[in-house]
Structure formats: C-alpha cells, structure tokens
Amino acid sequence: MAASWKLLVQRQRNTLLKYCSSPCVNCQITRRHSKLQRDSYKLRNYVYTRYSVRAYSAEKASPKSAKSKEKSKENVKVEYTIPTVKGEKKDVTCPLPQSYSPRYVEAAWYDWWEKSNIFTPENTDKHSLSEEKFVVMLPPPNVTGTLHLGHALTNSIQDAIVRWHRMHGQQVLWLPATDHAGIATQVVVEKKLWREKKMTRHDIGREKFLEEVWKWKEEKGGTICDQLRKMGSSLDWSRECFTMDPKLSAAVTEAFVRLHDEGVIYRGTRLVNWSCALQSAISDIEVEPVESEGEMAVAIPGYRKKVKFGLLSSFAYPIEGGGEIVVATTRLETMLGDTAIAVDPEDDRYKHLHGKFAIHPFCDRKLPIVCDEYVDKDFGTGAVKITPAHDFNDFEVGKRHDLPLINILDKMGNITGSGGSQFEGMKRFEAREAIEEALNSKNLFRGSVPHPMKIPVCSRSRDVIEPYLTDQWFLRYRDMAETAMEAVSSGKLKIIPEYYSKVWFEWLENSESRDWCISRQLWWGHRIPAYLATPKSAQSSDGVWVSGRTVEEVLSRAEQVLGVPQADIELRQDEDVLDTWFSSALFPFSSLGWPDQTSDLQAYYPGSFLETGNDILFFWVARMVMMGQKLTGKLPFKEVLLHGLLRDAQGRKMSKSLGNVIDPMDVIHGASLQELQDKIDAGNLDPKEVKMAKSGQKKEYPQGIPECGTDSLRFTLCSYNFKAEVLNMNVSHVITNRRFCNKIWQAFKFTMASLGPDYKPHDTFKLSGHESPVDLWILSRLSTVVQQCDRYFRAYDLHLAAQALHQFWMADFCDIYIECSKSPLNEDDEDAKTCVHDILHHCVDVWLRALHPFMPFITEELFQRLHGNSDHEVRSISVSAYPLPEHVQYKNTSVEETMELVMKIRDEALALRTELELTKGKARVYFLVSDPGRFKKLQPCASTLKALTRSSEVDVLLASRGKPLCGSGSAIPSGSIRRVVSDDIVMFMDVTGLIDTDKLWSEMRLRQRQIHKELDVLQLQDTMSGTDNTSKIEKLYDQLEKTKQLIDSLESFKR
C-alpha cells in the first residue's frame, strides 16, 4: 500500500514539475507539491494503519478465513459408492452430498444413457415425434495418442448443438470414428520401436511393422473412445467406425478406381513437398512455415551441427563470350540444378543478354537467358536463377520455356551426379557450404546478407521440406473446385463465420493450378489399388498402370489394355499408400456404407451440419464437399461451422515441447505436477524437448491441476467466442466454473429443502394469482433467458447462451429470488408459500433443461432428483423438451422496470452500509417517494427491499407537502442517515446504536479534504497540460456529494 501512495505522490510531482524545469524553494509549483506530499503521506499513514490493523486483527481472530473454508468445502472429493449394475439407472434417493463433487455427479450416468439407446436416432420414445433429422459426423481423432484440449473444444461445441437438437425431438445421429492418420501414426510407432528395441521399420519389415501399428491403434483407439465417453459426448456408439475398417477401405478403393477410370486421378512426374527424413511426399497441412527475420541456426535431423538459414547469397554466372550476371538465392545448393536465368523483358540492364547463355561453373551446362514477366526487376539484381526441379514457381517458368528438369537430390536429400561429380554424395546442407567455398575459389561468390524468409518444416519429422520432382499419383481439382465454389455462391452450402466464404473462393480458385498429390511413400494407410501390369516377355518399363477393386478385375483390365492373355501378365501393386485426407474426404458417406445403398446411407446422407477447426477448411472440408459432389452427386452437409485455434493462456500455440498440451482428463479428474510430468516422460519427445516441456509445466501448473469435472470444462470451452480466429484457454476459467457448479448445487439444495419431501409438481405450471412482484419478475427473467438461448443456439453463438444461463442463475435466481423467497417460506401465508414452491420448482426445471446441452452430468443428476416425486417414470433429461419461448411466456416489462428501480435502490443502500461499516447490524430503512406512480409500484416491493438491503425493516412512504422529512412530525426518526437515490426517492437509514458516529464523522471529513485535493490536481492538469480528466472529475464530484450528505446526516447526531 505504501508503494502505491508513493507512486501517486510521484505522479503528482511529475505533473507539476513538467512546467518547471528548475524548481526553487519559493516557486509556487514546488510549494504546492510539498503540501500535496505532506497531506498525501498523512492520509496514507492513516489508511494504512487503520486497514492493516483491522486485517491483522481479523486474521488473528480467525486464522482460516470464511472464504478459504468455503473453498475447501467446494474441493471435497465425494465418491458415489452405492452398488449399481453398469448400465442401470443411478440411485438418486440418497441424500445429496454437502457440496458439489464432480466424481460423484458424473458416476454411472453415461453407462445408463448408452444402454438406454438415448444417443441413437432410432430412439423414438421421446416427448414428441419428428421426422426431421439432424446428422453430424465427428471429425475423427487421430489414433496417434490421446485427446487434447483442442479435441475437447470440438466435442463440447458439437455435443451442445447435438443435444439441443435431440431435445427438440429430432432424429439425431452423431457418428463417432477414429482416423488412421498415416504419417502421424507411422512416425509415432517408428519412434516407439526405436526407443524400445533400437530398430527401424526396415529392420523388421513391412508385415511385422504393420502388426505393431495395429497394436498401437487398438490401445490408443480404445483410450480415445473412453475419453469421449468421459467428456459426455452423446455419440451413437452402435455405428462407431475406423477409417481402415473393411467397409471404409472398400469405399476408398471404389473411389480411387472410379476417379482413375475417369482420368481425374492420374500418375505423373511433378513437384511435391518432400520430407527427406520420412522419404515421403507430405501434405501442405504437415508443412509448418517457421518465420526467420534474418540469420538463424536450425537443428535438422541427421546433421550434427545446426544449419544456417535466413541468408541471401549472391554469386555470378559467367556469360558465354564475356561478362557476368549476378543472381541471389537462400538455397545455394539448388544452383546445381539451375537450367536458366530469367530477366524481365523490359529491363534495360539485360536487353543485351537476351538470347545469350550463362556458363555453369561446376558442370558442362549452358543456361539460356530467358525473358519472363514472373521476374520483379526491382528486387535484388533483377535476374533470377531458375531451378525447375526444386522450386514450385520455377517449375511453372520451366514449363513456359520448355526447360529441362534436373533433379540434383536423391530421396534422402543427398546430392546426385546430376549436380556435378564435385559434390556427389554430400548431404544437401553440407553441399551448401562446399558450394560457397568453391564459388569463392573461382571468384564468383559475391557475399551473403540477412534476409527474412519462411523455412518450410515438416511437422512430423522437423526436417526442412524440399520441393522434389518425383513420380506420384495426383487428383485433378479444376472441375470439382468449380462445383464447390458454386455450392457456396448459390447458398446451398453455408459457411459460418461468413467471412470464411471469401477465403474458400480464394483457395479453390488458386487450387486449379496445382493438383493434389494423393500418394505417400509409407507403409501405414490404404495401399493404392493400382498395379503395374507388364507382359512377362517384355521389359518392366513397358508396363501400364491399371487400377481395380480386386486382382481379378485388374488382370481382366490389363488383358484388354495390353492385348495379351492374363497368364502372360505380371502384376506388381504400387507400394505407396493414399494420403490420409483422401479417405477422410469420403467419410460422410463411406461411414454410412457407400458405395452400397445401405439403409443408413439412404436415411442419413446427406448430413445436416459439420463443425470443425478453421485450420482444416481446405484440407478436409473442401475435399469432402468436392468428393461428395463428384461421387454421390450431393453436398455432404448444408452448413459448416468453424472454430478458431485453441491456444494457451499466453496465446502460444499448443505444443508438447512447450509442455502446454493438456489431456482433458487431467482437467476433469485433476493431476499433480508429478503426474503431468510423468506423461511427458512416457511420450516421444527427445531429451531436450522433455526438459523444456517440464520447465513449462512447472511454471504454468506449479501445484498441478485441481479436479474440475467434465461439466466445468465443457461450459468453459463453450463460453469462449469460438468463432474468433484464436481462443486463449486458461485452466483458471475452468476452476471458476467448477465453483459455478457448486453454486448450482447449493441453490438446488435450498430449493429441495424448501419444497420438502412431499412436494408434487403440477403437470403444467400455471400462475396462481398470488404472485408477488418478485415472483412475476423471476418468471419474466426466465422468459428472457429461454428466448436468448433459443436465439443464440440457432445462430451458433453458444458463448452468449452460456453467459445468459450463468447470468440468470447467479444474478437473478440466487442473488435476488432465493433471498427474497426466504421471507414468504418462513411465514404462515400458505398461498404465498405454495406460489413460491411452484415457481422455485418451475425455474429450476426449465433452467436445468436449458443448461443440459452444456452440462449434461450435473443437470441429469439434479433433474432426476427434482422429479423424484413424479407419478410417472422420469426419463433422461437428454430426451426431455428443450424450453421454447412459446412455452415460457411470462415476459412482464412493467415488473422488470420496477425491479430495475429496486436494484438501484438496493445498490445505494448496500453502498451506504459499506460506508457506515455495517457488517452485521441491520438498520431500519425508510424510502420517501415523492412520485405517486413510483410509490404505487414500490410499496408492494417492501419485503423484497428488506431482503435485498439486509435491513431489519423497510418502510416505503409517500412524501407529503408541508411535513418534515424526518424527526418530529415524521415517521422517520431524527438522526437517520440521509442518501438521495434519485430525484424523487430519498433513503433514510436509522443507525441509532449501530455505529460510532463521531469516529465516522472524522473519517468522512478527512475523506472530503482528500477528494478536494485530488480535484485540485486534476483540474490543474486540465488547465496546464490540456489533459481531459472530465470523467474522473465527475466521479470525484459524485463521491464528494455523497460524502457531504453523509457528513450532514452525521452532524444531526452531534446536535
């Protein structure tokens, strides 16, 4: 506190001395500052002493504060121990635990839901029958490990939407699956194999390696499904599938063969993203651009020392006949594959070189000087080296000028003989250094300068990606891209948020120039159903590629193509597998049995809706749309909802090496720091990454993660505006929402205790006519929250629905209505008591059903207990009716306006209590109202005001002309503390015998003087520096007025 007062005084001094560079003793500014300093320190010492002593005394008297006791109660872990057969309904006849315990609440419910077939679309025993269907496919998690919080976000959003539709009586199918994730899974298992046995996949062979991967899949796939159940995901497990199940594999084969027959799939020699470490082509999504502002060293697999990047190296090519031309590159080793030098045709500096040749310094090769508008003449020297076999842009230039394609690398990234014998066999980045030395020796090297660049890094191997010329299978995009764009432009497919539509068009328009490489040089995945068919009498190079669903079909097709008998044909199946995204693109219909016309396919395809991350809009969503339209003639879904990238509390991307990737189970069940770090040890990180990850975890979670429960986690994730580009996830938010669960628990316990064991609700809630204003108000607020939930769910603004539900329970129901209900519940008016019982029950029932999509476990637990006395069987809340605005029509604007006034009065009364330090005592309060209309509205609210202002009694009086406000001749005792609430309402608080008036008067006088001083400083700033302190000054004048009122009231005691 002392430091903050010093800071205040220093700021005042800086402001004053700003206008006096050499202050002296007699200077008015200096003297004024000295006085301010003395007064401020006096006030600081007074406040510091007063509040420090009080805080110390309170701590001494009560070593453990009430708040910490309450928090310890909240964190008590209670188990559900009643023997219950798996799948049977949980026993809800036992008493509720004292406080909310996630493990108690979440026990047994999911097994009962699953056994009761609540999650299947065929479950028609609902509150209403509907022919309307709602079909969603779960984005299949990769079987590379366990789920992380990103998966939890996806599942929380989807399950909330799915449960909302199910509660509307629709036939809902949410289909679960897991993805084989070719490269990712193979890399993980290869690391595991090396760590445990020091063997590579080549050491054990393809068949044995695939057995190891299947073992991994069985283990991790089961764990993932268990995690999804614990997340409360209401998936139809009877239709669970895996992307390499026989049914889905048959669909992959069928799709490939059909598209190959049409010429949409072809085999060709083109540039691809190549990982030398994996020795495979990889997808664009597996390439992470690492930003470099200049020179930086990067660790590369297979290299003992780090490799330098972010340098632009310049060197000269000699010109045939004399002269030279200087070019620059960030990848010096690629100059071994240069086949031309390009210049802008309008660049006067090089017009004399048009049609001439440069001489390659390391091999017998002439490089033509070509003119191409691709060149930016204002960048660098205006001359560009062209390497068609190792750069995507150069490849296009090479096609335009019919340049040769010279591949200087083998699959492992070593220099081949095509790049010259001098460097043959060298690793690519070692050759980079050797080439620089060789150019220097020939006086051709012109130096290097730092240069910003993006280094393409493989997310799986951390290798630097090479554009690499190789034979691969490709899929033509052009026609399919056009139909996908038309689907969005026509409104048949809606993308949410809408601004992603623009990104959709941009990507699909650009995709026409680059076909999709669908083959991967891996062992794990769908093996390509294409065979090289060769006549046994011919050379293998004379063969043709033939695809087919079976070997018999391939032989029959090969016979027709080659014109030789099947017995004379030799078949060799391509060893490559298909890109994982190829099978994923078929998922909306392959999971339902396509190409067979199954009953599921006919009933549930096309689907209704897709929700996924915005980072895979093109890699998955666009390809599903294109493949769906191409192979089935239908869009796979009508709407696409995209959520942003989940980051940690500091805004960093989730990364295992940073230690910020969290298993949702650790948030749900809690985990100590040691348990979190044990998981890092069990992972596949290298020793340096393990050290970094543990350090990050220790800093972020020094005490581990407390048990928060599924409902708290789900509610937190849905409370974020997930349509934003980035979402910063903080575990502390989950902890806060665990306390919210406890608030739900305690308010429910109050409700049940108030209702009593014999209370039986009516089948339909109706107004009785005995409602008080606060009764009508809470019903009006209930109508509002139901309307908000309906509107926000339809717009997929789940965060706003969550906020509305939180606001109603905490601010309206708990803080206002429960407090106000205590008085009628404890009085003898049976009509009023019955009315409050019915409203308590109705509010809790409606609100639990509205909350259920976000918090399935606690709502089921409490819903079953709320309806425990029902005359009929209580089915799951999952299939109860979601509250609709037309069924909760209690909106009452007049009552809400009155209650807004009541809240304003309450705030003023509580503020005055705080100023008077009335922590325990209850004063009698009088509200003198001069407006007859307001008096008429407020008078019935006297009991409400009594409860909300913590008063012993409340009187609402109509002001009479000619009568004194208080004292003799008035109902209000003299000496009551006066506070103006509004122009027509004055509050009087009778504090006789409750406070030390002399002491408080002295404190308020001191406060009054301090406010005047603060006003002087602010007004001086306004005058001398032009600073606008208007809002601060207005607030201080408001405080000054209230302080003056309090002083005036206290002086009446002195008189």
Q: What Cα–Cα distance (Å) separates residue 914 from each residue in 902, 920, 950, 1039?
A: 18, 11, 12, 14
SS3 953: strand
> 327 φ, ψ to 5°?
-125, 165
> Residue 114 and residue 226: Cα distance in Å, rounded?
13
Confidence of residue 42 (pLDDT cuts 50, 70, 90): very low
Q: Which two tokens stand for residue 573?
A: 């199946």
SS3 706: coil
Confidence of residue 920 (pLDDT cuts 50, 70, 90): confident
pLDDT in tens, 311-342: 999 999 999 989 999 999 999 999 999 999 99
CA dihedral for 520, 521, 525, 527, sign (positive or negative) = positive
Q: In the predicted model, what is the mean pLDDT of residues 1006-1017?
A: 76
Any residues with CB less than 8 A from the CB of 951 and at least 6 apart, and which?
A: 909, 922, 923, 924, 925, 945
Please report the pLDDT score of residue 961 as a whole number: 62
For the range 806-813, what are the long-range contacts, defined as Cβ-Cβ under 8 Å and sequence gap of 24 or more?
Answer: 806/719, 806/740, 808/781, 808/782, 808/784, 808/847, 809/740, 809/743, 809/744, 809/747, 809/847, 810/740, 810/743, 812/778, 812/781, 813/747, 813/778, 813/781, 813/843, 813/847
SS3 579: coil
Q: Contact at 8 Å (CB) between 508 and 481?
A: yes
Q: Which residues pair with 18 in a beta bridge?
A: none
Q: Contact at 8 Å (CB) between 646 and 148?
A: no
Tokens 């008036």, located at residue: 997
Q: In the predicted model, what is the mean pLDDT of residues 168-181?
A: 95
Any residues with CB less than 8 A from the CB of 989 and at least 6 apart, and which?
A: 909, 912, 913, 916, 923, 924, 925, 926, 976, 977, 979
The terminus-to-terminus CA distance of the chain in angstroms comes to: 37
> Residue 777 and residue 761: Cα distance in Å, rounded?
21
Length of the chain: 1055
H helices present in 302-390, as ranges: none
> Residue 461 and residue 464: Cα distance in Å, rounded?
9
Residue 21 has pLDDT above 80, yes or no: no
SS3 466: strand
Angle at 289 between CA 285 and CA 292, to 5 degrees: 175
Q: In the predicted model, what is the mean pLDDT of residues 1026-1031?
A: 72
Q: Which residues pair with 280 in a beta bridge?
A: 275
Q: Contact at 8 Å (CB) between 352 and 333?
A: no
Q: What is the DSSP letter of 808?
A: I
Residue 61 has pLDDT above 60, yes or no: no
Residue 860 has pLDDT above 90, yes or no: yes
> Residue 746 and residue 97: Cα distance in Å, rounded?
10
Give me the helix-helix angle, 1030-1054 and 893-916, nearest 10°.
Answer: 70
Range in 392-401, 508-517, 525-534, 542-551 with the lowest mean pLDDT: 508-517
pLDDT in tens, 629-687: 999 999 999 999 999 999 888 888 877 767 778 899 999 999 999 998 888 887 777 78
Give the H/E segment covering residue 954: strand 953-958
> Residue 209 and residue 189: Cα distance in Å, rounded?
9
Residue 830 has pLDDT above 60, yes or no: yes
Please report the pLDDT score of residue 782 as a whole number: 97
> Residue 512 and residue 588: Cα distance in Å, rounded?
24
Any residues with CB less than 8 A from the CB of 822 and at least 6 apart, and which?
A: 947
> Residue 853 and residue 485: Cα distance in Å, rounded?
34
H helices present in 819-950, as ranges: 819-825, 830-851, 856-866, 893-916, 932-938, 942-949
Confidence of residue 73 (pLDDT cuts 50, 70, 90): low
Q: Contact at 8 Å (CB) between 372 and 400?
A: yes
> Residue 369 and residue 364: Cα distance in Å, rounded?
16
Q: Contact at 8 Å (CB) between 938 and 956?
A: yes
Give the H/E segment covering residue 174: strand 171-175
Tokens 């509660």, located at residue: 167
Any residues with CB less than 8 A from the CB of 36 and at least 6 apart, and which?
A: 9, 12, 16, 1013, 1017
> Residue 432 and residue 330: Cα distance in Å, rounded?
10
> Residue 148 and residue 654: Cα distance in Å, rounded?
9
Please report the pLDDT score of residue 459 as a whole number: 85
Helix, strand, coil proportions of the chain in percent (round to 5)? 50, 15, 35
Please report the pLDDT score of residue 978 as a whole number: 85
pTM: 0.85
Q: What is the DSSP letter of 362?
A: S
Q: Contact at 8 Å (CB) between 324 and 318?
A: yes
pLDDT in tens, 961-1010: 645 565 545 678 877 888 889 889 999 988 887 776 667 767 777 877 87
Residue 3 has pLDDT above 60, yes or no: no
Confidence of residue 124 (pLDDT cuts 50, 70, 90): low
* Residue, of 378 and 624, whose pLDDT is higher: 624
SS3 70: helix
SS3 926: strand
Please report the pLDDT score of residue 1023 as a whole number: 66
638 C-beta neighbours (distance < 10 Å), count: 15
What is the chain's mean pLDDT, rounded? 87
SS3 300: coil
Q: In the predicted model, what is the mean pLDDT of residues 513-538?
A: 91
- Tell me: cis bond preceding 301? Omega within 30 of 0 counts: no
What percent of the chain has pLDDT above 90? 65
Q: Which two tokens stand for residue 417?
A: 């003989």
